[in-house]
Structure 1
Amino acid sequence: MKVLLYLEGERMLEKSGIGRAFEHQKKALTCAGVDYTVDASDEYDILHINTYGFKSRQMIRRAKKNGKKVVYHAHSNAEDFRNSFIGSNQVASLYKKYLIYLYSRSDHLITPTTYAKKILESYGIQRPISVVSNGIDLEKYQVSKEKEAKFRTFFQLRPDQKVIISVGLYFYRKGITDFIEVAKQLPQYTFIWFGYTPMYTIPKDIRAIVKGDHPDNVIFPGYIKGEIIEGAYSNADLFFFPSYEETEGIVVLEALASHQNVLVRDIPVYEGWLEKDKNAYMGTTNAEFCQKIADIVEKKLPDLTQAGYETAQSKSIQQIGTELKKVYETVLKGHAVDSRSLEGMS
């Protein structure tokens, strides 16, 4: 069995969740001993496709013509497309039809959460759907005093300076405007939003926020990878992620793997793996976020980092490799995968 992992526009997507998921797939298959290639000219048995462009459609047609199996990783849906790029809301219904067209040409779909699976099922797609987390590289996010020192030095943070971080694209959907409003109410803390989106693709008011229309205690350093952000994940006083819609949220897994307290919006995607006040904190309004942030940072609420880390452990790269291998083997045999068995493994 040989798998072709395909990601169209890899350089453009490397900073996105899809790009990180693709890297996780490569590591997961290596751990599981699954032979794979990323070279579209190689021989393969299964096309595992991650993207939605013209070349992706061509790859599917070619694979089907040559009798190959197609596994589609459903990273996106119409719900998480809305409130993102300029014009996304206007074309969301067309995007939904396009996704249904693409997904329906696969032999099997993979999606990272039960919530995302339910959305696809509501589209009426008649294909087997397995739930497999995007996974997390636990080793990469182990706490390191050296990385933490590099983070604090990079931002010139005082030893007593309290820091709240978030990671994401500059989208309404990610809760960026709420992040700003909360920061305004808590001037005693420093708020850092890691991530980048080309300015020409986002609405004017979001551009204005990023370029300078934000409180002095907010920093937008852009896309930063490596030891600085890894140090930020573990050294910050809180990871605050007010996103309104996700298919999973790899950055949440990264924070949990970093032994960091996490505060997220209480939305359906977390059902089944995040439990309120057990392994993560949750809120719904900015007033609630403000209160919880203050209580967490000032240690008036229990530390949930160990329980959060155990959740990340259950979604390790090694575990994901085992689950992907099971999907591939079953697809080659022509049988539907019981997604409940996969969920029990994650």
Structure 2
Amino acid sequence: MFSSADKVAGQGVGSAYLELVGLLKDRLQDQFTVTINKHGQADITHYHTIDPQFFLSTFSKKRGRTIGYVHFLPETIEGSLRMPKFAKKIFYWYMIKFYKRMDQLVVVNPSFIPKIEAYGIPKSKITYIPNFVSPVEFPDRSIQDKLALREKYQLPKDKFIVFGSGQVQERKGVDDFVNLAKKNPHVQFVWAGGFSFGPMTDGYDHFKKIVENPPKNVIFTGIVKRTEIADYLNLADLFFLPSFDELFPMSVLEAFSCGVPVLLRNLELYEAIIAGKYVGADDLTGFNQALQKLMTDADFYKHYQQLARQAAQEYSPEHLAKIWADFYTAQAKF
């Protein structure tokens, strides 16, 4: 494994990387010997990030079969980072160059296969393997535990709590999160995440003002540990992510694992992975209507809570362990 994904806190790429490393060490240690960021002879080298030093290492004959994890494409970077046009052009060129250098690519959403093909990479070199979340790290806690967590984080026990997580940026739909809070002053909103890339974050000046002076019923926690994300999910009544673009958000899987109903913007890319498992809406008006129904219709709420728990089973470590084992074994035989 080669990765720097866990060096920048508060991003899903790092979470996905840590989940896979944990899976290999906990469930597949008898089949695979795993090293992290160590140069040496290998049957397979799996690159999780596209660092220049990693690119250079691909020219070594010791690397074996090279696997590239596609966590982002040029179009998914738009709305995330603020860069000069010339720098963006070079970065995008390099990104695709890195992917083309791989023997095989792994995507977390099948809807991105044709998009990768459009960059001149054949479909035969692309494999779909979804993200997953460990129920140990993101448990579905009891009602008593949930109330205790509200007390721990000094949040009201008698209010409906809406939770969102991710980097504070335009692409994540943070404006809609805040505007929905303004429409519902009786509801507590909490957003966990911050500016992982500092002033380079797209819309940094705009969002910095919001974070520093949010509505009274909105809390921005800043970047927190994954254990705290699990706590916030368990104390929340609803997970709300109004993103405009995603690959396969780890935050949604984390919510499913904690048995929390999910409200998302209707995006075509979700259709291939979690269709029917979440409450969807197109805009702020739709989000508000969905929120009112979730708060007032107990059967509707319980239905989506059960769907979340079902989805958690589909994207469990048990299910994904065999998929990864079969994939790595097949790649080693090339």
TM-score calculated relative to the size of structure 1: 0.87
Q: SS of the residue aligned with 1:253?
A: helix
| Deviation string, structure 1 residues 48-106 (Cα, Å, up to 9, x no partner) | 001112222122222xx336110001111112100012227775544332221101111
Cα distance, 1:294 vs. partner?
1.6
| Deviation string, structure 1 residues 247-296 (Cα, Å, up to 9, x no partner) | 100000000111110000111221133223xx210011100001101211
User: Contact between 2:40 and 2:62, CA under 8 Å: does it hold in 1?
Assistant: no
Moved more, 228-237 or 107-116: 228-237
Aligned to 2:118: 122
Q: SS of the residue aligned with 1:37?
A: coil
Paired with 2:321 and 2:2, the residues of 1 have a C-alpha distance of: 16
| Deviation string, structure 1 residues 101-152 (Cα, Å, up to 9, x no partner) | 1011111000101112232122221361111112110222222347534531
TM-score calculated relative to the size of structure 2: 0.90
User: What is the identity, as a one-letter code, of the residue corresponding to 1:142?
Assistant: P
User: 2:293 matched to 1:298?
Assistant: no
Describe the shift of the 1:105–1:228 C-alpha distance in structure 2 as closer, same or farther (beyond 3 A). Answer: closer
Moved more, 73-82 or 155-164: 155-164
User: 2:282 matched to 1:287?
Assistant: no
Cα distance, 1:42 vs. partner?
4.2
Paired with 2:317 and 2:170, the residues of 1 have a C-alpha distance of: 30
Paired with 1:73 and 1:206, the residues of 2 have a C-alpha distance of: 30
User: Contact between 1:142 and 1:258, CA under 8 Å: does it hold in 2?
Assistant: yes
Aligned residues: 324
Moved more, 229-238 or 105-114: 229-238
Where do 5+ consecutive residues of structure 2 fail to align? none
| Deviation string, structure 1 residues 308-344 (Cα, Å, up to 9, x no partner) | 222121111232222122222222222xxxxxxxxxx
Paired with 2:37 and 2:90, the residues of 1 have a C-alpha distance of: 31
Paired with 1:42 and 1:333, the residues of 2 have a C-alpha distance of: 19
Aligned to 1:320: 320
Paired with 2:205 and 2:231, the residues of 1 have a C-alpha distance of: 32
Cα distance, 1:217 vs. partner?
0.8
**1:123-272 matches, cutoff 5 A:** 123-126=119-122, 128-145=125-142, 148-198=146-196, 199-202=198-201, 203-212=204-213, 214-272=214-272
Describe the shift of the 1:90–1:171 C-alpha distance in structure 2 as closer, same or farther (beyond 3 A). Answer: farther
User: 2:49 matched to 1:22?
Assistant: no
Where do 5+ consecutive residues of structure 1 fail to align? 335-346
Q: SS of the residue aligned with 1:144?
A: coil
Paired with 1:289 and 1:163, the residues of 2 have a C-alpha distance of: 15
Cα distance, 1:194 vs. partner?
0.4
Q: SS of the residue aligned with 2:221?
A: strand
Moved more, 312-321 or 235-244: 312-321
User: What is the identity, as a one-letter code, of the residue corresponding to 2:169?
Assistant: F
Cα distance, 1:43 vs. partner?
3.2
Paired with 1:185 and 1:119, the residues of 2 have a C-alpha distance of: 37
User: What is the identity, as a one-letter code, of the residue corresponding to 2:151?
Assistant: T
User: 2:97 matched to 1:101?
Assistant: yes
Paired with 2:12 and 2:85, the residues of 1 have a C-alpha distance of: 20
| Deviation string, structure 1 residues 206-251 (Cα, Å, up to 9, x no partner) | 1111121x31111001122255432321231110010111110000
- After TM superposition, the runs of 4+ consecutive aligned structure 1 residues lying more than 6 A away are none
Moved more, 125-134 or 220-229: 220-229
